[in-house]
């Protein structure tokens, strides 16, 4: 099986620090890259047969596509400011150019596209914000490209897990094409840790334990979730951010909770 952790590294000639392709991951749908560009740096790509969601994790940029231009976008200088990001949706058959106005951390999320929708800006006011969970399971969600918004394949969301809390919890999975009960979605987790010398813990496991890995996640690491449950723990003292990209044969998120832990969905914690 493909290794589930892709660590970030030194920027290459284009500024890329991490890359996941369907070929490198051994799957079909999700692609994910992160670039760090200094002010004046530029990234240009043809989307080909894939749609893209460009997430400005931090920093400011000008973004141009064949038909649209979005100048001076981006507000947060650190992902841990907690505000919602700017993003740009780019369809398949298009081209984008991102020019950094400040130091820029840019995530390029891709999946198969059909060219169904035009390029558009996703401003912070377009991002749905919610608190999910309770107690030590509470976390903040930024729905950047949820299934209610136009795209062919991509689902993109970011999550802020306070130190000492758990997220993607109770453990859930989405690895069966069994609608309406469950959808099949590949998923990547791009982690950032504050302070960056810290770590997170993520477990990826299946019911039959044919896959059962517990991963020490460092700042900048990407975790691949080809199947199975995938909870995350933020140790005391270290806040954890992650950017999720999901895609599969049907663009809907229908998940199945681990039956052993589903009782946690009940706020009165009635153990059964």
> pLDDT, tens digit, for every residue of 129-175?
999 999 999 999 999 999 999 999 999 999 999 999 999 999 999 99
- C-alpha neighbours within 13 Å on the C-beta side of residue 236: 0
Q: Looking at residue 266, what is its pLDDT?
A: 81
List domains and CATH numbers for the chain. Answer: 5-265 (2.60.120.10)
Q: What is the pTM of this model?
A: 0.96
| Stretches in the chain below the pLDDT threshold 50 | none
Q: What pLDDT was estimated at residue 101?
A: 98
Quick one: pLDDT at residue 271? 55
């Amino acid at each position: 099986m493909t290794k589930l952790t892709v660590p970030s590294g030194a920027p290459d000639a284009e500024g890329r620090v991490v890359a996941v392709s369907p070929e490198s991951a051994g799957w079909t749908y999700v692609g994910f890259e992160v670039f760090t560009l200094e002010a004046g740096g530029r990234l240009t790509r043809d989307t080909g047969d894939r749609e893209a969601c460009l997430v400005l994790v931090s920093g400011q940029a000008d973004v141009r596509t064949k038909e649209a231009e979005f100048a001076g976008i981006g507000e947060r200088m650190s992902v841990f400011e907690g505000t919602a990001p700017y993003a740009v949706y780019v369809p398949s058959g298009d081209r984008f150019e991102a020019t950094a106005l400040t130091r820029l951390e840019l995530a390029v999320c891709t999946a198969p596209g059909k060219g169904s929708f035009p390029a558009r800006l996703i401003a912070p006011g377009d991002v749905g914000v919610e608190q999910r969970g309770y107690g030590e399971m509470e976390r903040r969600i930024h729905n950047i490209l949820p299934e209610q918004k136009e795209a062919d394949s991509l689902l993109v969301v970011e999550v802020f897990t306070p130190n000492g809390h758990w997220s993607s919890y109770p453990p859930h999975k989405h690895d069966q094409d069994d609608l309406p009960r469950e959808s099949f979605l590949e998923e990547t987790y791009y982690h950032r840790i504050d302070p960056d010398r810290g770590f997170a813990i993520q477990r990826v496991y299946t019911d039959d334990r044919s896959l059962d890995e517990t991963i020490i996640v460092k700042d900048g690491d990407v975790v691949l979730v080809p199947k199975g449950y995938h909870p995350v723990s933020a140790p005391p003292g270290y806040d954890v951010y992650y950017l999720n990209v999901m895609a599969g044969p049907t663009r809907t998120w229908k998940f199945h909770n681990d039956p052993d832990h589903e009782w946690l969905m009940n706020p009165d914690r009635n153990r059964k």
